[in-house]
Structure 1
Amino acid sequence: MLHRWLDRHAARTPDRVALRHGAEAITYAGLAAQAAALAGGLGARGIGRGDRVAFLGLNHPAQLVLLAACARLGAILVPLNWRLAAPELRFMLEDSGARLLFALPEHLALAEAALPPACALLAPAAPPTGPAPPALGEAGDALLLIYTSGTTGRPKGAVLDQRALLANALNGRRLHALGPADRVLTVLPMFHVGGLNIQTVPALLAGATVLLHPRFEPDAFFDTLAAERPTLTLLVPAVMQALVAHPRWKTADLSCLRAIGAGSSDVPLPLIEAFQARGVPVQQVYGATETSPIALYQSVAEAMAHPGSIGRPAALCDCRVVDAAGRPLPPGEAGEIEVRGPNVMRGYWKAPEATAAALRQGWFRTGDVGIRDAAGRFWFTDRLKHLIISGGENIYPAEVERVLREAPGVAEGAVCGRPDLRWGEVPVALVVPGEGFDPDAVLRFFEGRLARFKHPRAVIAVPSLPRTALGKVQVEALRAMAAGAHS
């Protein structure tokens, strides 16, 4: 498991740098020692197998130390999205039953506003420490509880056990051909499985060095390329677009990168071509929070030869395309992508009905539509769920609509995604006006109720919402209306 891998690297290569974070360099011996001491401190506070401990903050070594400490104890880490509003975070803390919340200084006020009475607040700068306890965590112990928005508008916690993280890390090592000589640049947030599990944790299990940025900043990215010469990094389309549009793009030396991973949403071909024209293969990675997330990926050769494909099944999982009844479809026919393997979640936290709906005879139903071609490559075509992906962040219309319904002057309303050059998509609200309707007041109503990235970018007044004969809102017609109002 993760803590055992760190202990082995600490014994074999104690002086190799595991993490660089600003001016701080942590060796494998240092990382293992910090994790063991934190596990001792947590154990002294009564944290043991199955207990939940949350983390709120930008990317920081403290989160990875906490992950390893939880793995040692058999406890569960709950990474929290610092972009969320306090009521959203409070729901996750209460739902998970987190006993402790570690919050970095820049998010301390947010943490205090979100903190339930039963949860204690701690500072990672002064963590509890104690003698290293026995390594109790085993393969079957849950290790990560990561909340992902649901179509009901309430987030669900996907439970990933230590076995899932190990299988995913082995898939990641195969995907990136990771080895001890690699330097992996992490700029995506580690409260997502993408930023945490596609490259970062696999790199640590491979004995490589992780160059950890608090968050994505284009100039810091280019500075690190020049100074640290990373060999790999993981990006989302919004980040790729920001780099390609930056004044330093044309002169930056990208030769240190043997590839970049890309995912979280459909990656536009012009962005793939922009990187590959500079000699950097763009390996698409497909998956979900519930699959840890690596399920499908491209090899470097296929990334160059077949841009746009989402690849082939990872080494330790199976993928297939099925019809509505779950029957496998032949190549060339579109259907839902399903995933099976040790990397798949054990279920949703305290949500047996949602778990039963998502897992069918051992297969995770992704809700995404794809095609498998005759050569065995998969291609993403559409989403069954009406998910909006804006700058790599998942936004579910139902969650936004719950707030919209309470806004003043809204008789009826619905939310959909509208194409956006910078973010890929942005949420917009279509509203049937009621008494006192004011579009600006509706937008202001979202302040403090939802994370800012979920706020509608526009409120469009319409005479009625397009509905089916059964009364359901027709999402495609809604999107067409939103696009037409923008043109």
Structure 2
Amino acid sequence: MTPFDLAALEPLIAAEEAALRAAGIVAGDRVGWIGLNDPAMLATLFACERMGAVLVPLNWRLAAEELQWIAEDAGLALLREGPASGAVTPLPARGEPGCEALLIGYTSGTTGRPKGAMLSRAALHANAENARRLFGLTAADHVLTVLPLFHVGGLNIQTVPALLAGARVTLMPKFEPDGFFDAVEALRPTLSLLVPAVMTALVRHPRWATADLASLRAIGAGSSEVPMPLIEAFHARGIPVQQVYGMTETGPIAIAQTAAEAMAAPGSIGLAAPLCGARVMRDGQEAPVGEAGEIEIRGANVMTGYWRRPDATAEALRGGWFRTGDVGHRDAAGRFWFTDRLTRVIISGGENIYPAEVERVLQSVPGVTECAVIGRPDPRWGEVPVAVIVAGPGFDEAETAARLERGLARFKHPRAVIHMPSLPRTALGKVQIEKLRELTSGG
């Protein structure tokens, strides 16, 4: 792990641009990248920016079938594999339409298939400006990146903004508690971005009480609601926890805390980011102070739409506002507070798991007559998926496990399978999720 800035990255960017041009990449082509955190991935992003090409980061944790689907949906012209192989693999997808985005981030959808959120060059730069102001980024900073760059959180909340601000960045290939403590003590970074599962691993580690963390002037935190005990543990070490609220579709920074806000209002997700508008809507009108409604976002950092999904784009973007599907409220000081989720997304260790994705696989298993997937609280991961199955003749547990192994990343696999004679449904046939949670709470 060697710190670098944008100037030090320049030779890699030039070499990557040359490699992409030699492979026939032109403006609008989609370039896939898969691998652990490495400067080569950032070089590919900046090379794509110069060429007008589009980077599509791929989650290396996904199963082969999931990766294949994304590659086909995005119409990848080539796949860049790194850092171990450094391979450039051409793919037979030429003739798909061009795209004016700089980045397409695939985010799981409630239909069971992910959607590609298109983020323009202007969106990434607007997001970087939001980050610069919120974190007070200067060339004197040093960001330690431990979250995966295939998520916009790891890529865009601190990493790319730090490079654009002239700061240094150190990439951990993947998070590991001892590696984090070692890096902070040896390299003296000033900022890092964590998720609750990572924070939990650090706070519970034997080195937490004695590790020298004095160089960290703050950490960013997000992806799911951050429990107060974790915030208090970091604040007790003198490290403000700046919550960041957003999603792939918003770049992701939409609502966030400054370091001062983090100390003044722990638990709040903060104020609208500097280049963002944010509001809470209920029944078509802005909700009064203190009353819950759906959080909506607008700004230059918001996606232009979903790749090849005009209907989904029209549903998500209305009148210039992005509908988050999340519930929150504002207090008298204008701060936003996260309340709940309108959708059924399960956030496990910072990873989004949509029940429909898991249900789609379970429904392909012989003998499964009905199924539903719900989230169950977990002290380590925040939530874990649990499958509820109505089994008929021919059901086989081993075949179920095999189908999950082939079709889904391991972190999406249900941690428990509960058998029921039937699923509770409404008169219209919709599964009653809350009733299901009640019935399975002791499972």
Give the TM-score normalised by structure 1. 0.87
Counterparts of 1:409 and 1:276 in 2: how far apart (Å)? 51
Counterparts of 2:141 and 2:360 in 1: how far apart (Å)? 45
Match of 2:242 in 1: 283
Is 1:81 the equivalent of 2:40?
no
Are the aligned partners of 2:6 and 2:164 in contact in 1 as well (CA < 8 Å)?
Answer: no
The runs of 5 or more residues in structure 1 that have no matched partner are 1-21, 120-139
Match of 1:187 in 2: 146
Q: Give the direction of change, closer, same or farther, for the CA distance of 1:406–1:160 in structure 2 (3 Å limit).
A: same
- CA drift at 1:171: 0.2
- Aligned match of 2:202 in 219, 238, 243? 243
Are the aligned partners of 1:324 and 1:336 in contact in 2 as well (CA < 8 Å)?
Answer: no
Are the aligned partners of 1:439 and 1:459 in contact in 2 as well (CA < 8 Å)?
Answer: no
Are the aligned partners of 1:259 and 1:281 in contact in 2 as well (CA < 8 Å)?
Answer: yes
Match of 1:5 in 2: none
Counterparts of 1:393 and 1:299 in 2: how far apart (Å)? 24
Is 1:388 the equivalent of 2:346?
yes
Q: Give the direction of change, closer, same or farther, for the CA distance of 1:386–1:107 in structure 2 (3 Å limit).
A: farther
Output one character per residue of 1:73-95: Cα deviation in whole Å (capped at 9) or x when no partner. 01100000000011111111111
Are the aligned partners of 2:5 and 2:167 in contact in 1 as well (CA < 8 Å)?
Answer: no
Match of 1:457 in 2: 415
Match of 1:476 in 2: 434
Q: Give the direction of change, closer, same or farther, for the CA distance of 1:247–1:440 in structure 2 (3 Å limit).
A: farther
Counterparts of 2:7 and 2:396 in 1: how far apart (Å)? 59
Counterpart residue type for residue 148 of structure 1: T
- CA drift at 1:416: 0.7
- Aligned match of 2:395 in 434, 437, 443? 437
- CA drift at 1:175: 1.0
Counterparts of 2:7 and 2:344 in 1: how far apart (Å)? 46
- CA drift at 1:464: 1.1
Match of 2:263 in 1: 304
Match of 1:42 in 2: 20
Counterparts of 1:233 and 1:96 in 2: how far apart (Å)? 31
Are the aligned partners of 1:443 and 1:459 in contact in 2 as well (CA < 8 Å)?
Answer: no
Counterparts of 1:405 and 1:366 in 2: how far apart (Å)? 28
Output one character per residue of 1:20-50: Cα deviation in whole Å (capped at 9) or x when no partner. xx2x454543412321232233223321211
Counterpart residue type for residue 252 of structure 2: P
Are the aligned partners of 1:319 and 1:338 in contact in 2 as well (CA < 8 Å)?
Answer: yes
Is 1:61 the equivalent of 2:20?
no
Counterparts of 1:266 and 1:276 in 2: how far apart (Å)? 17
Counterparts of 1:440 and 1:334 in 2: how far apart (Å)? 44
Counterparts of 1:444 and 1:365 in 2: how far apart (Å)? 37
Is 1:313 the equivalent of 2:291?
no
- Aligned match of 1:274 in 210, 233, 242? 233
Counterpart residue type for residue 291 of structure 2: E
Counterparts of 1:106 and 1:40 in 2: how far apart (Å)? 20
Alignment of 1:293-372 (within 5 A): 293-325=252-284, 327-372=285-330
Counterparts of 1:179 and 1:349 in 2: how far apart (Å)? 34
Is 1:411 the equivalent of 2:411?
no
Q: Secondary structure at the match of 1:484?
A: coil
Report sequence identity in percent: 67
- CA drift at 1:105: 6.1
Q: Secondary structure at the match of 1:279?
A: coil
Q: Secondary structure at the match of 1:223?
A: helix
Is 1:95 the equivalent of 2:73?
yes
Q: Give the direction of change, closer, same or farther, for the CA distance of 1:227–1:265 in structure 2 (3 Å limit).
A: same
Counterpart residue type for residue 314 of structure 1: A
- Aligned match of 1:257 in 196, 205, 216? 216
The runs of 5 or more residues in structure 2 that have no matched partner are none
Output one character per residue of 1:311-367: Cα deviation in whole Å (capped at 9) or x when no partner. 000000100000143x21121110000000000000000000000000010000000
Counterparts of 1:234 and 1:79 in 2: how far apart (Å)? 19
Counterparts of 1:188 and 1:242 in 2: how far apart (Å)? 13
Output one character per residue of 1:144-181: Cα deviation in whole Å (capped at 9) or x when no partner. 01100011011000000000000000000111101111
Counterpart residue type for residue 190 of structure 1: L
Output one character per residue of 1:47-87: Cα deviation in whole Å (capped at 9) or x when no partner. 12111101000100110000000000011000000000111
- Aligned match of 1:147 in 106, 121, 126? 106
Counterparts of 1:483 and 1:175 in 2: how far apart (Å)? 40
Is 1:156 the equivalent of 2:134?
no
Identify the range of structure 1 (229-238 vs 443-452) with the bigger mean alpha-carbon deviation.
Answer: 443-452
Output one character per residue of 1:421-453: Cα deviation in whole Å (capped at 9) or x when no partner. 111101110011211434454233311211111
Q: Secondary structure at the match of 2:70?
A: helix
Are the aligned partners of 1:323 and 1:336 in contact in 2 as well (CA < 8 Å)?
Answer: yes
Counterparts of 1:385 and 1:237 in 2: how far apart (Å)? 20
Are the aligned partners of 1:262 and 1:285 in contact in 2 as well (CA < 8 Å)?
Answer: yes
Counterparts of 2:246 and 2:433 in 1: how far apart (Å)? 24
- Aligned match of 2:29 in 51, 70, 75? 51
Output one character per residue of 1:99-136: Cα deviation in whole Å (capped at 9) or x when no partner. 11011266899x99xx95448xxxxxxxxxxxxxxxxx
